[in-house]
Structure 1
Amino acid sequence: MHPDVERLIALLPPGPGSGERLDWVEVERDLGCRLPADFRDLVAVYGVGTVDECLMVLPPVSGEHESGIASVGQMTPTPEKTAWLLHTKSDYPLWPEPGALVCGLRLVDGNGDLWGGVYWRTTGAVPEQWPVVLWERHRPFVEFDLSMTGLLVKWLTEASDIDFDRRLVFGAPHSRFIHWRVEREMRRQGLDPWDYLEPLHIEANEAWEEQNLRPRPGP
């Protein structure tokens, strides 16, 4: 198993019902490219699903997926997806040109609308050497010399040191991953999969107000 996935498991236990068993030869034939080993292990251990209702591990298919979560193929910028280009002002090449971005993670806001994505910049023939690129709405692209799973580890370990409104996830040990089938079954039973987030939001808001709104001592 990729060491970044091992580190992720220690910070973010996969939970019940997680993981996918896929024919990666068929998957990569469908997508038209190999995917980095850490992402294959990430999908094998966690599967398709969501962290903290805001960060989605995408289905590694080119078209629609039964989960309803936008797939790797659907989130990958191509010449046909002009709305994405207008939204991001990207000057990266478009798939399948060399150096194009291929998407592995999707970010959504509190309303479930697209907030950003995490991509590989497909430079060279070795996927494990592809840089990882983060795009967030209204912000410039940022490139990391990390694996995609390594970036998840970074977010989970550093979240408590980041202002609440800039965090992408709550961070260990609070964050949870929920597989899409588990989420669907919980909703079928009338349960809210993300009810653990409310007290975390309240606590984070109170901490922010304490730090930023309390009266300053006089001279």
Structure 2
Amino acid sequence: MAHPAITGVAAVLGQPGTAGDAVDWDELARTTGLRLPTDYREFIALYGGGELDEYLSINTPADGLVDGLAFDPTQAPDTPTGDSEEELLDGRLLPVASTVHGDVVFWVCDELDPERWEMVVFKRQARYGEQRWTRYAMGFGELLLGTLTGTLASPFSARGLDESPHAYRHWRRPL
């Protein structure tokens, strides 16, 4: 059964121009101890790693998604990651996407169950007085869908990701 958020993303983006990426998720879990959320796995299977609107890059395990993992994903954290900048910097964060402006989208990996991971966005080009870190009580697919449809205020430095039409380009697809 398709994840509802990814079904929504597909309705906004349309059918991909190329096949997504085949990832052996079981092998990834076996070798790293890391299991990734269903919505993300479905997105990668459908669209693959690539770039949305020449702005937001979505990483895959083949692109080094788990390189330099700074925590043991098989162990629950001693304390949950807080919301302050200091707590987030010391937290169990795993980057999944980034923008051309240097914004980074992370999973907050405080739970052993990846379906319960929340998202946090670091906004590199924050305006004076604006929070650079914003935490969302939702997963990857919901964050992406909300950003694309405008039901979620853009968490990124540049505005306009909520304006149609959208284009997703797989990194294997020639220019």
Give me the whole-angstrom Cα distance separating, in 1, the residues matched to 2:43 and 2:124.
Answer: 25
Task: Find the counterpart in structure 1 of residue 3 from structure 2.
Answer: 2
Task: Find the counterpart in structure 2 of residue 208 from structure 1.
Answer: none
Question: Deviation string for 1:117-174 (max 9, x for gaps)?
Answer: 1111111221111111111104421011111111111111118x87xx741x533531
Residues 12 and 172 in structure 1, CA contact (< 8 A), matched pair in contact too: no
Q: 2:106 aligns with which of 101, 119, 125?
A: 119
Query: What's the CA shift for 1:77?
Result: 6.8
Amino acid at match of 1:176: A
Give me the whole-angstrom Cα distance separating, in 2, the residues matched to 1:172 and 1:27.
Answer: 35
Q: Which has the larger radius of gyration?
A: 1
Give me the whole-angstrom Cα distance separating, in 1, the residues matched to 2:125 and 2:52.
Answer: 22
5+ residue gaps, structure 2, are: 72-84, 127-131
Residues 16 and 46 in structure 2, CA contact (< 8 A), matched pair in contact too: no
Identity %: 27
Residues 14 and 177 in structure 1, CA contact (< 8 A), matched pair in contact too: no
Task: Find the counterpart in structure 2 of residue 181 from structure 1.
Answer: 172
Query: What's the CA shift for 1:92?
Result: 2.8
Amino acid at match of 1:131: E
Q: 1:128 aligns with which of 110, 115, 126?
A: 115
For the aligned residues, what is the CA RMSD?
Answer: 2.7
Task: Find the counterpart in structure 1 of residue 124 from structure 2.
Answer: 137
Amino acid at match of 2:22: R
5+ residue gaps, structure 1, are: 66-70, 80-88, 110-114, 187-219
Task: Find the counterpart in structure 1 of residue 66 from structure 2.
Answer: 73
Pair 23,90 (structure 1): closer, same or farther in 2 beyond 3 Å: same
Give me the whole-angstrom Cα distance separating, in 1, the residues matched to 2:171 and 2:36.
Answer: 21
In the superposition, the TM-score normalised over structure 2's length comes to 0.76
Higher relative contact order (CA 8 A, sep 6+): 2
Q: Please identify which structure carries the higher helix content.
A: 1
- Matched pairs, number: 155
Give me the whole-angstrom Cα distance separating, in 1, the residues matched to 2:135 and 2:111.
Answer: 16
Task: Find the counterpart in structure 2 of residue 60 from structure 1.
Answer: 61
Residues 105 and 118 in structure 1, CA contact (< 8 A), matched pair in contact too: yes
Give me the whole-angstrom Cα distance separating, in 1, the residues matched to 2:37 and 2:86.
Answer: 23
Task: Find the counterpart in structure 2 of residue 83 from structure 1.
Answer: none
Task: Find the counterpart in structure 1 of residue 79 from structure 2.
Answer: none
Give me the whole-angstrom Cα distance separating, in 2, the residues matched to 1:9 and 1:146.
Answer: 18
Kindly report structure 1 stretches of 4+ aligned residues shifted beyond 3 Å: 29-32, 76-79
Pair 30,118 (structure 1): closer, same or farther in 2 beyond 3 Å: farther
Give me the whole-angstrom Cα distance separating, in 2, the residues matched to 1:90 and 1:13.
Answer: 39
Task: Find the counterpart in structure 2 of residue 92 from structure 1.
Answer: 88
